[in-house]
Amino acid sequence: MSDLGPRVVPAVHGAKRPIIEPRFVQPLVEWLREHYSYDRMVDLYSRFMQGDDPISTEMRAAIVAAAARRAGPGLKIGSGVGFKHLDTFEIGEGVFIGAQSYLQGRFDGLCAIGARTWIGPQSYFDARNLIIEEQVGWGPGAKVLGSTHTALPINVPIIETDLEIKPVRIEAWADVGTGAVILPGVTVGRGSIIGAGAVVTQDVPPFSIAAGVPARVLRSRKTTRHSAEEQALLGWTR
């Protein structure tokens, strides 16, 4: 089989215009809100959580839209996606959440996901105080941690110590690479690229490229050339 080599092809998710969903979805969302309690909607979601058939796919979207604080049209949720405290979520239009992802909110928290954001399969969100702005790309298996234990006092198990929740913000147009980890309190600036497998411990300025463990800013996106070291850190080498 011949090797086609590197190619540039048009984007799919981010370029979709306009957002189209079946006409029955919004009436179903209103019906669910009128007839089902939040707890019953959570139970109903579990019945359609698995499966890639059209009915399961549309039912997941409708139930999440009904149970969340707010959700725009065109929501797509892959099979096996789990939520905790879904009623603290605000989701923009045209959002995609890939299969087997888990988004863990908190009863007194907020998770906002901006319009046309794409979240890859098997991602994990500690979404207790998390804002993802519009048109963010989130690579498969990437994680965000929004909380840590204080580990004080030292004479008790760490998991018994208080939880410190720090806000995490991923600004618009940013792209978080496959398997990257965003740690509590971090802001990833607008239009920045986070390399595959990076562990981001500090804020990343807008339109920057950051990679490594711990992640460091390699350069601004205003330049166009990539060194061999940068390509390796970003996971772009074959």
Give me the CATH number covering residue 179: 2.160.10.10
Q: Is the pLDDT of residue 2 over 60?
A: no
Average pLDDT, the chain: 92
**Residue range 185-191: average pLDDT?**
97
Q: What's the whole-model pTM score?
A: 0.88
In a domain, 185, yes or no: yes
In a domain, 138, yes or no: yes
Residue 231's pLDDT band, with cuts at 50, 70 and 90, is low
In a domain, 46, yes or no: no
Domain count, the chain: 1
Length of the chain: 238
Q: Which residues contact 168 (CB under 8 A, 6 or more apart)?
A: 129, 130, 131, 144, 145, 146, 182, 184, 185, 186, 187
**Span of 17-26, 49-58, 123-132, 165-174 with lowest mean pLDDT:** 17-26
Q: Is the pLDDT of residue 1 over 60?
A: no
In a domain, 197, yes or no: yes
The answer to whether 49 and 80 are in contact (CB under 8 A) is yes
In a domain, 134, yes or no: yes
Domain assignment of residue 206, given as a range? 81-233
The answer to whether 63 and 81 are in contact (CB under 8 A) is no
Q: Residue 6: what pLDDT?
A: 79
In a domain, 192, yes or no: yes
In a domain, 238, yes or no: no
The angle at the Cα of 173, spanning 184 to 227, to the nearest 5 degrees, equals 85
Q: Is the pLDDT of residue 227 over 90?
A: no
